[in-house]
Chain A
Amino acid sequence: MSESTTDEATSGDATDDSTEDAVPTEPDDDRITVTIDGVDRRVDPGGLVIDACNEHGAYVPHFCYHPRMSPVGMCRQCLVEVDGPRGTMTVVSCMTPTAEGQVVNTTTPSVKRAQEGVLELLLANHPLDCPVCDKGGECPLQDQAFSHGPGESRYVEQKRHYEKPIPISDLVFLDRERCILCDRCTRFADEVAGDKLIHFVSRGNDTQVMTFPDEPFVSYFSGNTVQICPVGALTAKPYRFKARPWDLTQVESTCTTCAVGCRTVVQASRDELLRYQGVDSDPVNHGWMCDRGRFNFEAVNSEHRLAEPQIRTESGLTDVSWNIALRTAADVLTEALEGGGADRIGILGGARGSNEDAFAWAQLADAIGVHHRDAQVGDGLPAETLGYPRATIDDAANAATIVLLGPDLKEELPVLYLRLRDAAEKRRSRILEFAPTETGLTPYAWKSVRHEPGAAATAVQSALGDDEIAAQLAAGPVVLVVGRGNLAESPEATIAATQAMLSGVPGATVLPAFRRGNVIGALTVGLRPDDPDHDGLATLRAAADGRLDVLVLLGCDPLNDCPDTDLARRAIAGARRIISIDTHHSESTQRADVVLAASAYGEKAGTTTNLEGRVSALGEKVTATGTSRPDWMIAVELGLSLGAYSLPSDHPLRGASTVDDVTDLIAATADGFGMATRAALAAEPDGVLVDPALPTPDPVTFTAPSRNSYDYRLVVSRKLYDRAVGTAMSRSISALAPGAAIHVNPLDLAQLGVEAGDDVTLMSASATAVLPVVTNLAVPRGIAWSPFNQHGGGVTDLVDATADVTDVRIERVG
Chain B
Amino acid sequence: MPADDQAVSSGNGDGTARGVPTGPKLITTRFDQDDGYTYDGYVRSGGYAALRRALTTMAPEAVHEQVKTSEIQGRGGAGFPAGVKWGFLPDGVFPRYIVVNGDESEPGTYKDRMLMELDPHQLIEGVVLASYAVGAAQAFLYVRGEMALAQERIAQALNDAYANNLVGENIVGTDFSVDIHLSWGAGAYIVGEETALIESLEGERGMPRLKPPFFPAAKGLYLQPTIVNNVETLSNLPWIINHSGQDFYDLASPTSTGMRMFAVSGHVNAPGVFEVPNGTTTFRDLIEAPEYCGGVRDGRSVKAFIPGGASAIWFFPEHLDLPLDKATVDQAGSMLGSGAIVIMDDTTDMVAACWRVVRFFARESCGKCTPCREGTTWLERILKRMLDGNGRPEDLATLVDVCESISPGLAWPPKQTTICPLGPSAVSPIVSAVERFRHEFDHYVEHGRPIDGVERHAIHGSAGEAVHV
Binding site for B on A (CB under 8 A): 1-11, 13-15, 17-19, 21-22, 73-77, 79, 90, 92, 95, 110, 113-114, 117-118, 120-122, 124-125, 154-158, 180-181, 200, 202-207
B67-100 interface bits toward A, Cβ cutoff 8 Å, 1 = contact, 0 = none: 0000000101111100011001111110000000
Indicate if B312 sits at the interface (CB-CB under 8 A): yes
B374 touches which of A95, A110, A122 (Cβ 8 Å): A122
Query: Given A1-B425, A19-B90, A14 and B215 touching (CB < 8 A)?
Result: yes
Give the interface segment out of B11-19, B136-144, B205-213, B258-266.
B205-213
Among residues of A, the one whose C-beta sits closest to the C-beta of B378 is A124
Whether A17 lies near B188 (C-beta < 8 A) is: no
Whether B374 lies near A10 (C-beta < 8 A) is: no
Indicate if B368 sits at the interface (CB-CB under 8 A): yes
Query: Given A13-B218, A75-B370, A206-B466, A120 and B421 touching (CB < 8 A)?
Result: no
Indicate if B377 sits at the interface (CB-CB under 8 A): yes
Query: Given A7-B85, A90-B415, A203-B367, A17 and B374 touching (CB < 8 A)?
Result: no
Closest CB pairs A-B (n = 10):
A18-B90, A117-B405, A17-B218, A3-B78, A207-B367, A14-B88, A1-B311, A121-B374, A7-B80, A157-B381
Whether B374 lies near A4 (C-beta < 8 A) is: no
Whether A204 lies near B377 (C-beta < 8 A) is: yes
Whether B381 lies near A76 (C-beta < 8 A) is: no
Among residues of B, the one whose C-beta sits closest to the C-beta of A75 is B370
A13 to B80, CA, bound (A): 15
Indicate if B408 sits at the interface (CB-CB under 8 A): yes
Query: Given A10-B215, A204-B366, A3 and B205 touching (CB < 8 A)?
Result: no
Query: Given A1-B335, A1-B337, A22-B91, A13 and B215 touching (CB < 8 A)?
Result: yes
Whether B414 lies near A1 (C-beta < 8 A) is: yes
Among residues of A, the one whose C-beta sits closest to the C-beta of B217 is A14
Question: Which A residues are in CB contact (< 8 Å) with B401?
Answer: 154
Question: Within the complex, what minimum Cβ distance (angstroms) separates B71 from chain A?
Answer: 14
Query: Given A76-B370, A121-B375, A2 and B80 touching (CB < 8 A)?
Result: no
A417 to B339, CA, bound (A): 55
Indicate if B219 sits at the interface (CB-CB under 8 A): yes
Question: Which A residues are in CB contact (< 8 Å) with B425?
Answer: 1
Indicate if B419 sits at the interface (CB-CB under 8 A): yes
A206 to B205, CA, bound (A): 14
- Interfacial residues of chain B within 360-380, with CB under 8 A of chain A in the complex: 362-371, 373-378
Indicate if B5 sits at the interface (CB-CB under 8 A): no
A134 to B19, CA, bound (A): 73
Whether A204 lies near B367 (C-beta < 8 A) is: yes
Question: Within the complex, what minimum Cβ distance (angstroms) separates A679 from chain B?
Answer: 45
Question: Which B residues are in CB contact (< 8 Å) with A11?
Answer: 84, 88
Question: Which A residues are in CB contact (< 8 Å) with B85?
Answer: 7, 10
Whether A76 lies near B417 (C-beta < 8 A) is: yes
Which of B205, B219, B371, B428 has the most chain A CB within a 10 Å cutoff?
Answer: B371
Number of residues of chain B lying within 8 A (CB) of chain A: 73
Whether B424 lies near A95 (C-beta < 8 A) is: no
Whether B367 lies near A120 (C-beta < 8 A) is: no
Among residues of B, the one whose C-beta sits closest to the C-beta of A122 is B370
Whether B210 lies near A73 (C-beta < 8 A) is: yes
Among residues of A, the one whose C-beta sits closest to the C-beta of B374 is A121
Indicate if B382 sits at the interface (CB-CB under 8 A): yes
Question: Within the complex, what minimum Cβ distance (angstroms) separates A13 from chain B?
Answer: 5
Provide a sorted-by-A list of 30 A–B residue pairs whose CB atoms are within 8 angstroms.
A1-B335, A1-B337, A1-B414, A3-B76, A3-B77, A6-B211, A7-B78, A10-B217, A13-B215, A14-B89, A14-B90, A15-B88, A18-B91, A18-B225, A21-B93, A77-B370, A92-B210, A114-B408, A117-B371, A118-B417, A122-B370, A157-B464, A181-B367, A202-B367, A203-B365, A203-B366, A204-B365, A204-B376, A205-B373, A206-B466
Whether A204 lies near B364 (C-beta < 8 A) is: yes
Whether A2 lies near B215 (C-beta < 8 A) is: no
Whether A1 lies near B90 (C-beta < 8 A) is: no
Question: Which B residues are in CB contact (< 8 Å) with A19?
Answer: 90
Indicate if B330 sits at the interface (CB-CB under 8 A): yes
The total of Cβ contacts below 8 Å across the A-B interface reads: 188
Question: Within the complex, what minimum Cβ distance (angstroms) separates B406 from chain A?
Answer: 8
A205 to B213, CA, bound (A): 26
Among residues of B, the one whose C-beta sits closest to the C-beta of A200 is B205
Whether B80 lies near A181 (C-beta < 8 A) is: no
Given contacts A1-B337, A1-B428, A121-B402, 11 further A-B contacts (CB under 8 A): A1-B335, A1-B425, A2-B413, A4-B80, A13-B213, A18-B88, A18-B225, A21-B218, A121-B374, A124-B378, A204-B362
- Interfacial residues of chain B within 32-85, with CB under 8 A of chain A in the complex: 74, 76-80, 84-85
Whether B92 lies near A205 (C-beta < 8 A) is: no
Whether B369 lies near A157 (C-beta < 8 A) is: no
A76 to B363, CA, bound (A): 20
Question: Which A residues are in CB contact (< 8 Å) with B421?
Answer: 1-3, 6
B413 touches which of A4, A10, A158, A181 (Cβ 8 Å): A4
Question: Which B residues are in CB contact (< 8 Å) with A181?
Answer: 367, 370, 373
Whether A2 lies near B416 (C-beta < 8 A) is: yes
Which of A113, A118, A122, A204 has the most chain B CB within a 10 Å cutoff?
Answer: A204
Question: Within the complex, what minimum Cβ distance (angstroms) separates A666 from chain B?
Answer: 50
Indicate if B242 sits at the interface (CB-CB under 8 A): no
Indicate if B418 sits at the interface (CB-CB under 8 A): yes
Among residues of A, the one whose C-beta sits closest to the C-beta of B395 is A156
Question: Which B residues are in CB contact (< 8 Å) with A6?
Answer: 78, 211, 421
Whether B365 lies near A205 (C-beta < 8 A) is: yes
Question: Which A residues are in CB contact (< 8 Å) with B134?
Answer: none
Question: Which A residues are in CB contact (< 8 Å) with B466?
Answer: 204-206
Among residues of A, the one whose C-beta sits closest to the C-beta of B416 is A2
Question: Which A residues are in CB contact (< 8 Å) with B463?
Answer: 204-205
Which of B311, B375, B377 has the most chain A CB within a 10 Å cutoff?
Answer: B377
Whether B225 lies near A1 (C-beta < 8 A) is: no
Whether A18 lies near B78 (C-beta < 8 A) is: no
Indicate if B331 sits at the interface (CB-CB under 8 A): no
Question: Which B residues are in CB contact (< 8 Å) with A180?
Answer: 370
Question: Which B residues are in CB contact (< 8 Å) with A156?
Answer: 392
Question: Which B residues are in CB contact (< 8 Å) with A117?
Answer: 371, 404-406, 408, 417
B109-126 interface bits toward A, Cβ cutoff 8 Å, 1 = contact, 0 = none: 000000000000000000
Question: Within the complex, what minimum Cβ distance (angstroms) separates B59 from chain A?
Answer: 21
A206 to B337, CA, bound (A): 28
Indicate if B159 sits at the interface (CB-CB under 8 A): no
A74 to B372, CA, bound (A): 11
Which of B80, B93, B414 has the most chain A CB within a 10 Å cutoff?
Answer: B80
A92 to B416, CA, bound (A): 11
Question: Within the complex, what minimum Cβ distance (angstroms) separates B145 from chain A?
Answer: 14
Indicate if B153 sits at the interface (CB-CB under 8 A): no
Question: Which A residues are in CB contact (< 8 Å) with B170?
Answer: none
Among residues of A, the one whose C-beta sits closest to the C-beta of B415 is A90
Query: Given A4-B78, A125-B374, A205-B377, A17 and B213 touching (CB < 8 A)?
Result: yes
Among residues of A, the one whose C-beta sits closest to the C-beta of B77 is A3
Indicate if B385 sits at the interface (CB-CB under 8 A): yes
Indicate if B29 sits at the interface (CB-CB under 8 A): no
Indicate if B398 sits at the interface (CB-CB under 8 A): yes
Whether A157 lies near B218 (C-beta < 8 A) is: no
A2 touches which of B367, B369, B414 (Cβ 8 Å): B414
B187-229 interface bits toward A, Cβ cutoff 8 Å, 1 = contact, 0 = none: 0100000000000000001000011110111110000010000
Whether A207 lies near B385 (C-beta < 8 A) is: no
Whether B378 lies near A121 (C-beta < 8 A) is: yes
Question: Which A residues are in CB contact (< 8 Å) with B385?
Answer: 157
Question: Within the complex, what minimum Cβ distance (angstroms) separates A239 from chain B?
Answer: 28
Among residues of B, the one whose C-beta sits closest to the C-beta of A123 is B374
Whether B378 lies near A17 (C-beta < 8 A) is: no
Whether B364 lies near A95 (C-beta < 8 A) is: no
Question: Which A residues are in CB contact (< 8 Å) with B369?
Answer: 73-76
Query: Given A1-B311, A4-B79, A90 and B424 touching (CB < 8 A)?
Result: no
Whether B408 lies near A8 (C-beta < 8 A) is: no
Question: Within the complex, what minimum Cβ distance (angstroms) separates B279 from chain A?
Answer: 16
A156 to B381, CA, bound (A): 10
A75 to B205, CA, bound (A): 17
Whether B374 lies near A124 (C-beta < 8 A) is: yes
